Amino acid sequence: MRLSHFSGLGAILVLTATAAWGGIITSGTVTLDGTEALTGSLRLFRDGVPSTIAAPKSFPGTLSCGGTCFYETISVNPAPFEPLRITYAWISGADANIFLAAYLNSFTAAALSSNYLGDPGLSVMGIGPGPQSFEVLVPSGDSLVLAFGTVSSTSLGTVSYSVENIGNVPEPATFGLIGAGLGLFALRRRSKQR
């Protein structure tokens, strides 16, 4: 970006608006060994379609667990209005078959559709497929809850995960500041041309 034509408030606002915030926010591992909380008799349906920022998906529905399903949650508090990419991969557990979904602020096993944000469409397991990724947008002031769950009572194992900021979506207030800065720039430029 060239700033030779900008000065004062307009230049500051343009720089603010175009700054990228990308990078890994958090990462780690989760082990489901059968001692976690129970989801009950239902789990999320794996529809094969990953959520993306460009194409968010609606709640995919539920399917019966193969016995009892277990889950564990992790809460992440990203900066405001972050578009996030969540990636997870199988690490261990020969029979592992673990599914991950994102929720806004809280996860309730008895109401799987409540606060649902998105999922990768597929689980990860010891026999494939490989790592899975999906994208969600977390509004300002809210937190991301990752819900890792088994698809049966015996599909236990360990997965790695990472949450990455993938964009530069400014907060709504920033759009107002950008508009005000550009307006001031236009007025200042017009007065110089007279």
- State mean pLDDT over 18-36: 81
Q: What is the mean pLDDT of residues 10-39?
A: 69
The 10s digit of each residue's pLDDT in 170-185 is 545 544 545 555 455 4
Span of 76-80, 112-116, 124-128, 177-181 with lowest mean pLDDT: 177-181
The DSSP code for 78 is: P
The reported pLDDT for the residue numbered 127 is 80
Q: How far apart are CA 97 and CA 56, in angstroms?
A: 24
For residue 157, is pLDDT > 90?
A: yes
Distances (CA, A) of 41 to 62, 66, 98, 101, 111: 10, 8, 16, 17, 12
Mean pLDDT of the 41-56 span: 94
> Mapping DSSP to helix (H, G, I), strand (E, B) and coil, where does residue 186 land?
helix
Are β-strands 23-32 and 132-138 bridged in parallel, bridged antiparallel, or unpaired? unpaired
What is the predicted pLDDT for the residue at 130? 84
Task: Tell me how far apart the alpha carbons of residues 127 and 125 are, in angstroms, rounded to a whole number.
Answer: 5
pTM here is 0.74
